A and B are shown apart, each in its own frame.
Chain A
Amino acid sequence: MELLFSLVVGVLTASGIYLLLRGRTFPVIVGLTLLSYAVNLFLFSTGGLNTDAAAVIGESLTPTDPLPQALVLTAIVIGFAMTAFVVILAIRARSELGSDHVDGQQGEAGDGR
């Protein structure tokens, strides 16, 4: 399970960073979203990976750490609000700057991707 988990986090992070470095606002936002998924998964794993372990004392013999779950919840809420904000900002930038390029202009032909 550890291998699968770390692979998923790694692939999500790599895709997120790749998209984050693109030139248009939409891939950048998708990249940020993927990155925040990766981070949330990572945070979730910081309490140790267990199966059959509820985060409630008394439900199982070896309860898992409840704190990472609380942290992930906070991170999800904040990440969601931020993503909503950056989407609106990107739309605003598209209309104000006349382009969806992150620098607000196309640059040389062909390198605008």
Chain B
Amino acid sequence: MSQHLLVLPILVPLIGALALLLTGKVGHAAQRRMGVALTALLVVISAGLLARAGSGELTFYALGNWQAPFGIVLMLDRLSALMLTLTAVLALGCVLFACAGDDARGSNFHGLFQLQLMGLNGAFLTGDLFNLFVFFEILLLASYALLMHGGGKARVGAGLHYVILNLAGSALFLVALGVLYGATGTLNMADMARRLATMSGDETALVTAGALLLIVVFSLKAALLPLYFWLPRTYSAALAPVAALFAIMTKVGLYAILRVQSLIFADSPVAEPVAAWLWWSGLATIALAGIGVLAARDLRPLIAYLVLVSVGTLLAATALATPQANTALLYYLLHTTLICGALYLIAELIGQQRGKAGTRLVRARRLHQRFLLGGFFLVAAVAVSGLPPLAGALGKLLLLQAAEGAARLWLWPLLLLAGLSALIAMSRAGSVFFWASYKGEVAAGRVSRAQLAGVIWLLASAPLLVGFGGPVSDYTRATAEQLADPGAKIAQLFGDESLPHMARFQSLEETRR
């Protein structure tokens, strides 16, 4: 039984989603209970997998018992277990928050939510590039519907852009897969790495082209500089719990980049040009998103730009490709995902007590529960701008330490300035929301118990990640070391057996001659 644990993060949401969709008419209370129970179960399963991967054990699961490289394998290492747990924890906060009433604004919220989780979990677990494409499509399709949940002009308009852009991205993904398959003859990630190692100079030119195309697609999902313009509008239009869940969506792109860079292209000449692109676009993303944070006139786009700052930071750190940098970036990733999710939920709470003004940065009526919301906002603002004593400061410190030599000259000023602009923007937003107000309050919009639970669940990560900073950073350090040793995965999956049908094209061409 325990070997099947690995496939549960995909099966549980899938079966749950089907059950939820089929029982769509039974009423909100039952659907909510089921949605929360399923997500909580996912937290438990991911924690189990985290404990298993934490011992350093690599687990493979051959779907349908078709052996790699012919069948599709799921792969559990420390990185995928970490991402699974992060997703489940974030999702539990979002689904709790949604139970306060956001899920009733359209149909089938909980079913779609579970499908989205299935796509995310699958993308984190799979060890096959084409399977990664399929799970990307599942999570995108669910996200299209979730984004439109609640309807309205802004959502449909933003949704149209998001859908068309991602469809074009999917076409590019397939082209990249085709090029890589044509050049290497396999789609299994570990097998591809094994074959790249035996390739000579001019054969890798095609692989480099395919790899760069692949990185373009992942950068679109991760929202890297020339490809991020869709993000602020999309995330600002979505309902709060959906936007909070989308905080992990950019990280899927980052995970995919980290995975292919560390496993497939690690020892090949392909890694160099990719890292160069990631480094400069990551830095440019930090710079422009830092300006965007200052320019935003509404709290939701402001948070979207904060998400972009974190994306730029993480991708620039990926380009450094040292174990220290990976340790730091994984720690920062945990913190930034949960805090950005929490910020979206807090923005919703603030907006619902300000009447018509919503989350716009203008004077409005006084907030009804200003001490509670002010407290939440303060914690989140301190965490997101990277001030001590919360986890943001620790993550940034680790990142700054990881940069060496010339990289320091670029990363240090940009990272610190982006932190400063986040601080300025958040203080301005906080002063407008909590101090610059008229007399009189909007009666509606008290924070419900479910909303409170969701926000506290996510916000608690900021002090907890500091309190347990030692064990967490030990785990991310071990993860980074595991990533730096792709050979172990290849060896465990294939043993020492030689390549079965290498040089497929050479033999074809010889027969033609």
Closest to A65 in B: B504
* Complex alpha-carbon distance, A71 and B243, angstroms: 32
Q: Are A93 and B156 touching (Cβ within 8 A)?
A: yes
Which residues of chain A are within 8 angstroms of B168 by Cβ–Cβ distance? 20, 32, 35
**A-side interface size class:** 35 or more
Contact B181 A68 (CB under 8 A): yes
B177 close to A71 (CB less than 8 A) = yes
B144 at the interface (CB under 8 A from A): yes
B240 to chain A, nearest CB (A): 21
Measured in the bound complex, the distance between the Cα atoms of B475 and A68 in whole Å is 39
A71 neighbours in B (Cβ, 8 Å): 130, 177-178, 181
**Which parts of B467-507 form the interface with A (CB within 8 Å)?**
504-505
Q: A74 contacts B160, CB within 8 Å?
A: no
Q: Given A62-B511, A75-B174, answer yes or no on A67-B156 (Cβ-Cβ < 8 Å).
A: no
- Within the assembled complex, what's the spacing in Å between the Cα atoms of A47 and B187? 12
**Alpha-carbon distance between A25 and B164 when the two chains are bound, in angstroms:** 10
Q: Are B170 and A82 in contact (CB under 8 A)?
A: yes
B175 at interface (Cβ–Cβ under 8 A)? yes
Q: Helix, strand, loop or mixed for chain B's interface?
A: helix
Which parts of B148-205 form the interface with A (CB within 8 Å)? 148, 151-153, 156-157, 159-161, 163-164, 167-168, 170-171, 174-175, 177-179, 181-182, 187
Q: Which residues of A contact B178 (CB under 8 A)?
A: 39, 42-43, 45-46, 68, 71
Partner among B137, B148, B160, B187 whose Cβ is within 8 Å of the Cβ of A78: B137
Q: Which residues of A contact B160 (CB under 8 A)?
A: 25, 89-90, 93, 102, 104
Closest 9 CB pairs of A and B: A46-B182, A46-B178, A43-B178, A104-B157, A39-B174, A96-B156, A35-B171, A39-B171, A93-B160
* 26 examples of A-B residue contacts, CB within 8 angstroms: A28-B164, A32-B167, A39-B171, A39-B175, A39-B178, A42-B174, A43-B174, A45-B178, A46-B178, A46-B179, A48-B508, A62-B511, A65-B504, A67-B181, A68-B181, A82-B137, A82-B167, A85-B141, A85-B163, A86-B163, A86-B164, A89-B144, A89-B156, A97-B153, A97-B156, A102-B161
